[in-house]
Amino acid sequence: MKNAICISFMLGLALPALGDETCNSPYTTALIKGQEDYVHVWTLGVKDLGDGQDKLVTIGANPKSKDYGKVVSSVSVGSRGEAHHMGFTDDRRYLWAGGLSDNLIHVFDVANPEKPRLVRTIKNLGEKTGYLGPHTFYAMPGRMLIGTLSNTKDKGGVTGMAVYNNKGDFVAKYDMPTDKGGDGYGYDIAINPAKNVLLTSSFAGYNNYMRPLGELIKDAEAMKKFGNTMVVWDLKAMKPKQVLAVPGAPLEVRWSLKSGDNWAITAAALTSKLWLVKQDAKGEWVAKDVGTIGDPSKIPLPVDISITADGKGLWVNTFMDGKTRYFDLTNPEQPKQTYEKVTGKQVNMISQSWDGKRVYVTSSLLENWDKGGADNEQFVRAFNWDGKELKPAFEVDFAKEKLGRAHHMKFTAKAR
C-alpha cells in the first residue's frame, strides 16, 4: 500500500501526456523531434561470433556526420542472456536493458551518447519478485516499471510487474491477475496519464520463448500456453480494474499520441489481428478486433508496431514474411493497409523518428526463433519514408561485423 501511495503521489504531479519517437513512456523527457544522431541497438550475443556477449551497439544516424551508418561504439556486458528490450529512465540519462534468460538488468549511462557506459547490473529481480524475463522498461517519475514474461518457480507464463527506483533499488511488485478472467501472463506496458490507465498485454513464459520455434508449434499443449488477455489497471492504485479478452498473444501496446485521443492499439501475434482498446458509451474499456494483418492462414507473425506522432498511421513488422506494412489509422475503428515492402528475410523491431521521415528495422526475434541458414540475416536497416515509398538509407550487417543478433532500438541526440 505504501508503495502504491508513493506512486500515486508522484503521478499526481502535472505531467505532460507526451509520447516519444514514438513509443516511449509519456514520462520520458527530452523528446527528439529533430534529427537523431545515434541509434542504439540492444544485441543478443552469438556463440563463437566476436566475443559472443550481449552488447549495446551504437550506430551513427545523422546523415551530416562522418559516422553516418557506421558502428561508433559497442559495450559488451560480460555474458549472453537473451538480450531483448530496453527503455530510458524518465530523465533520459540511462538506458535499462534486460536479458530474458539470465534475468539480469544492465544499466547504461548515455550522457555521452556516442560512447555509452555500463554502470550497473541488477541481479536481484528473481530474488525480490519471483519473476523471470524482464521485458518492457517503462519510465515512471524517478522509477522504472518493468514488465516481465515468466516466473522462477515453474518458468511458465504467470508473472507480474516490478518497480525499481532510478538508483537500482527494488521498490515493489505487482502480480498479473489470475482471477476474473485473467490468465496471469504479461508482456508490454503502456500508460495513459490523462485517463489514469495502465494497459498490459500478454505473451508466454520461459518454457515457450526459450524453445526452438519449429519444435514449439508442433506441441499442441505448449501452444495453449500463450496469453489471451489485456489488463486495464488503475494507475494510481496499481490495481487491475478490467480484464479484456484479446486472443492470440497481444504484444506491443501503443496509445495514440494525438491530443484528445484516448485509444490504444495492439497486434495479436498468433491471430494476425489488430485490436483497438477504448471506452464505450458507459465508460467501460473494451477491446475490439478492427483489422487483419496479411493472410493469417500463412502465419505472418506480427511482432512489432510503431504509431505515428499524429496517431494517423501505424507501421507493422511481420517476422515470417519479412514485411514492413503501413496502415492508415485515420479511422482507428477501420485501419486500412496502404503500403507493404519486404525489408528482410526476417524482420522484427521497427522504430521511427518523431517526424516519421526515418524508419529503422532490425532482424532478430529470439535466439531459438530466428530462421536458419541463408535466411538468418542479422542487421539494422534504415529507410527514408516520403509517405509513398521506403527508400534504403543505410545498413549495418551485424553478422559481418561479428556483433550478434540485432533486436531493440532507441535513439539519442547530441546536446545542441
pLDDT of the residue at 147: 98
C-alpha 132/C-alpha 127 separation (Å) is 10
Among 176, 172, 154, which residue's Cα sits nearest to residue 163?
172
- pLDDT given at position 4: 41
Going from the C-alpha of 276 to that of each of 6, 64, 176, 330, the distances in angstroms are 31, 39, 21, 13
Cell of 125: 529481480
How buried is 220 (Cβ within 10 angstroms: 0-12 exposed, 13-18 middle, 19+ buried)?
exposed
The amino acid at 138: Y
Angle ∠(265,187,406) on CA atoms, nearest 5: 95
- The reported pLDDT for the residue numbered 103 is 98
Q: What is the pLDDT of residue 21?
A: 65
CATH of domain 38-412: 2.130.10.10
CB atoms within 10 A of CB 211: 17
What pLDDT shows up at residue 151? 98
Over residues 237-295, the pLDDT tens digits come to 999 999 999 999 999 999 999 989 999 999 999 999 999 999 999 999 999 999 999 99
Return the pLDDT at 415. 82
**Cell numbers given for 381:** 536497416
pTM attached to this predicted model: 0.93
Q: Is 27 left (phi over 0), alpha (psi -120 to 50) or beta?
A: alpha
String of DSSP letters for 372-390 = -GGG---EEEEEEE-SS-E
| Ranges in the chain, pLDDT < 70 | 1-21
